[in-house]
Amino acid sequence: MEAKKLNLKLKIWRQKNSNSVGSFVDYDVQVSPDASFLEMLDELNNRLEAKNEEPIVFESDCREGICGTCGLVINGHPHGPLPKIATCQLHMRNFRDGETIWVEPFRAKAFPVIKDLMVDRSGFDKILQAGGYISVNTGGAPDANSIPVPKDAASEAFDAAACIGCGACVAACKNASAMLFVSAKISHLGFLPQGQPERYIRVQRMIKVMDELGFGSCTNTYACEAECPKGISVTNIARMNRDYVRAKFTSKVIEV
């Protein structure tokens, strides 16, 4: 009872490595509307491999929208045209027979292309390693219920913590700003009582590294929020800016 297949023309970015120049290459595919976008690429790769051609390099892992590994720019949109899903959750029934689809890597100065559609997002981890945590040693924690957290605060912290670190916000932004990603972590920890002691040091350190890595500044266009698969809100950016300003007035100013 398989549904009728779609005939599509793909224009896919191929690039040998970070030093070479890339270009779009055309591929014709036939695909079931029930397949996912990445399954379509799997099938295409299988076909290429059978002809002893090098398959298209792209990354994915969970294919459930949670690990943040996947990320393609499809027809100009990071993670494709539908809101609030990751690339791996996009299904072919959302495309029309005969359509042409453009597939590119996430582009940003801080995300160099490694090969084809695979990019280096390690900058995100470097930011998190600059204080994006609560300092507590294993075994040193008090009983979990000795730290009550109002349900609303826990829920708001969760909303921010839902970020999957995919980088779509950076790819969507004309300045390649990482503010949405960084502010999500700041809010996650900032909403919780456990996160308070290091709150102001954290924001300063993380922003410093973010700037050093060449991510751009935020000019409030909100393209990031629109493309974020987890619906991370730009209000986090405002919160982060407030914390950053306030940090300057606390006694805990660090050298930045």
Partner 1 sequence: MTKLESKVPSGHISEKWTNHKFNMKLVNPSNKRKYTIIVVGTGLAGASAAASLGELGYNVLAFTFHDSARRAHSIAAQGGINASKNYQNDGDSTFRLFYDTVKGGDFRAREANVYRLAEVSGNIIDQCVAQGVPFAREYGGLLDNRSFGGAQVSRTFYARGQTGQQLLLGAVSALNRQIDKGTVKLFTRREMLDVVIVDSQAKGIIVRNLVTGEIEKYSAHAVVLATGGYSNVFFLSTNAMNCNATAIWRAHKKGAFFGNPCFTQIHPTCLPLHGESQSKLTLMSESLRNDGRVWVSKKKNDTRHPNDIPEDERDYYLERKYPSFGNLAPRDISSRAAKEVCDEGRGVNGGDAVYLDFSDAIKRLGKKVIEERYGNLFEIYETITGENPYEVPMKIYPAPHYTMGGLWVDYNLMSTVPGLFVIGEANFSDHGANRLGASALMQGLADGYFVIPYTMGDYLATYKPAAVKTDHPEFEKTAKEVKDLTNKLLSIKGKRTVDDLHKQLGRIMWNKVGMARSEQGLKEAIQEIRQLREEFWKNVNIPGSGEDVNQTLERAGRLADYFELGELMAIDALHRNESCGGHFRVEYQYEDGEAKRDDENFSYVAAWEFKDVGNWELHKEPLVFEYVKPSVRSYK
Shortest distance, CB of residue 89 to ligand FES, whole angstroms?
7
Q: Distance between CA atoms of 71 and 156, rounded to whole angstroms? A: 26
* 12 touches ligand SF4 by CB under 6 A: no
Tokens representing 173 are 């932004």
Instruction: Tell me the three state secondary structure of residue 12.
Output: strand
Residue closer to partner 1 (CB basis): 112 or 175: 112
Q: Distance between CA atoms of 180 and 252, rounded to whole angstroms? A: 24
Q: Which does 91 bind (CB under 5 to 8 A by kind): partner 1, ligand SF4, ligand FES, none?
A: partner 1
CB 164 within 8 A of CB 231: no
Among 9, 20, 54, 250, binds partner 1 (CB under 8 A): 54
Residue closer to ligand FES (CB basis): 11 or 63: 63
Q: Distance between CA atoms of 66 and 85, rounded to whole angstroms? A: 10
Pairing, β 77-78 against β 100-105: unpaired
* 69 touches ligand FES by CB under 6 A: yes
Q: Distance between CA atoms of 200 and 125, rounded to whole angstroms? A: 19
Among 13, 36, 95, 240, binds partner 1 (CB under 8 A): 36
* 19 touches partner 1 by CB under 8 A: no
Q: Which does 86 bind (CB under 5 to 8 A by kind): partner 1, ligand SF4, ligand FES, none?
A: ligand FES
Residue 102 DSSP class:
E
Residues engaged in binding ligand SF4 (CB under 6 A): 163-169, 180-181, 184, 228-230, 232
